[in-house]
Amino acid sequence: MKILVINAGSSSMKYQLIDMTDESTLAKGNCERIGIDGHFKHTTSDGRSCEYDVQMNNHTEAFMQIKNALTDEKVGVIKELSEVSAIGHRIVQGGSIFKESCLVTDKVIEDIESLIPLAPLHNAAHVQGIRACIDVFGKEVPEVVVFDTAFHSTMPETAYMYAVPYEYYEKYAVRRYGFHGTSHRYVSARCAELMGKDIKDLKIITCHLGNGSSITAIDGGKVVDTSMGLTPLDGIMMGTRTGCLDPSVVTFIMEKSGLTPSEMDTLLNKKSGFLGISGISSDDRDVCAAAAEGNKRAQLAIDMLEYHILKYIGSYVAVLGGVDAIVFTAGIGENQSSHRENVCHKLGYIGVEIDDEVNAKAIRGVEGKISTENSKVDVFVIPTNEEIVIARDTMALVTK
């Protein structure tokens, strides 16, 4: 069975065609700048590729590019589109409606649309992606939706409620939802596999550290708390996002600088974090390079990031009442061994001990344990794979 995994954004659409017989990726690519000037990239697992500028006025036209590339004589991986058995879509916000993945129906599309106010850019784009997919593949190809928030739906009320007047929860569904759930779900399950234990018996803290970052406390396979909130802005400091802050900072800056809500939103989401503190870049590699050359603000950004990670791990150890394993994943988590080293060295008080040499080598897609045999807590680097989770859920639902 071949499954097409789609991650539709407002102006981009990433895809992967996965062969479920061995879970290998046959081809992947990205339609960028949809509705602007248009750029298309496609590569196959055996090294064939194409890349060109092409106008794509909407998501349906983007799907036509994908369809053409997948079945192309030179760079194609299938003969006919009918070889695609099902399509799985990543959806950012499932609200309180979707607690697990499900097959797409008219009602499901309506429900995803109803959640647009909670994730205006993302959910609106996902709905466009689903509709475009129906246009190109037809209704007979089953589609499945997999939600970033679903894995976090097990959080208890005490963790997801904010202490604002209760009516805002009732009226506007203001609460913590959490994001990156598919990634946290994949790496926590993989962690249990690597430990040779049932996830039901484990307390795990997963650190998804990328351009956007979140940390999650998982007890017996169920999320009990996560650092992102109503939106993906809360938690630890990120590439361009603030992470947690005293909410009064927002009203204070708005009043002092005369910013509108939308300008303030841009400041918090696009101008803060690594970029805002270092003044150099949102990219961890650039900031680390500048810090190595003695740039003090770049060093401050790094110290703040590591401090935030440490603080969340510490608080989640308290929430879980102990921890069996800590997992690092995503761009920074999988590649920046120095952050892992600095954080883990400060966790000696809970029995964490990592092997610095093993840690330094755990980069660029390496999966493995970086803690020593003596460590009371296992520490892993596990490259995330959200696409495989989407493909597995899709297969499970369409073969049910």
Residue with tokens 């080293």: 341
| Residue 46 among the catalytic residues | no
Comparison of 123 and 282: residue with beta carbon closer to ligand ADP: 282
Instruction: For residue 104, give both structure tokens.
Output: 């797409």
# chain residues binding ligand ADP, by CB under 6 A = 13
d(C-alpha 95, C-alpha 61), whole Å: 29
Positions 299 through 358 that interact with ligand ADP (CB under 6 A): 330-332, 335-336
Count of Cβ atoms closer than 10 Å to residue 198 Cβ: 10
Residue 182 has, within 13 A of its CA and on its CB side, a CA count of 23
Beta bridge partners of 348: none
Instruction: Write down the catalytic residue from 19, 46, 135, 148.
Output: 148
Q: Is 29 in the site for ligand ADP (CB under 6 A)?
A: no
To ligand ADP, the closest distance from the beta carbon of 333 in angstroms equals 8
Comparison of 112 and 209: residue with beta carbon closer to ligand ADP: 209
Comparison of 3 and 362: residue with beta carbon closer to ligand ADP: 362
Site map 361..400 versus ligand ADP, x via CB under 6 A: ---x------------------------------------
To ligand ADP, the closest distance from the beta carbon of 351 in angstroms equals 28
Site map 239..268 versus ligand ADP, x via CB under 6 A: x-----------------------------
Q: In this structure, is the dihedral angle defined by the CA atoms of residues 101, 239, 301 and 328, taken in order, positive or negative? A: positive
Residue nearest to ligand ADP (CB): 331
The residue type found at 178 is G
d(C-alpha 25, C-alpha 391), whole Å: 10
d(C-alpha 384, C-alpha 333), whole Å: 10
Q: Is 285 in the site for ligand ADP (CB under 6 A)?
A: yes
To ligand ADP, the closest distance from the beta carbon of 381 in angstroms equals 12
Residue with tokens 């650092």: 227
Positions 201 through 220 that interact with ligand ADP (CB under 6 A): 210-212
Comparison of 224 and 298: residue with beta carbon closer to ligand ADP: 298
Comparison of 77 and 290: residue with beta carbon closer to ligand ADP: 290
Comparison of 143 and 148: residue with beta carbon closer to ligand ADP: 148
Between the alpha carbon of residue 393 and those of residues 10, 188, 242, 342, 354, the distances in Å are 24, 16, 33, 36, 34
Comparison of 126 and 175: residue with beta carbon closer to ligand ADP: 126
Q: Is 283 in the site for ligand ADP (CB under 6 A)?
A: yes
To ligand ADP, the closest distance from the beta carbon of 208 in angstroms equals 8
Beta bridge partners of 91: 147
Between the alpha carbon of residue 244 and those of residues 269, 270, 273, the distances in Å are 12, 15, 10
To ligand ADP, the closest distance from the beta carbon of 1 in angstroms equals 27
To ligand ADP, the closest distance from the beta carbon of 384 in angstroms equals 8
Question: Of 393, 372, 320, nearest to 91 (Cα)?
Answer: 393
143, 104 contact by CB (below 8 A): yes
Q: Measured at the alpha carbon of residue 137, what is the angle toward residues 136 and 142, in degrees to the nearest 5?
A: 140
Q: Is 148 in the site for ligand ADP (CB under 6 A)?
A: no
To ligand ADP, the closest distance from the beta carbon of 153 in angstroms equals 22
Q: Which residues contact 118 (CB under 8 A, 6 or more apart)?
A: 93, 95, 173, 177, 230, 231
> Which residues are catalytic, by number?
148
Residues within the interface to ligand ADP (CB under 6 A): 210-212, 239, 283-285, 330-332, 335-336, 364
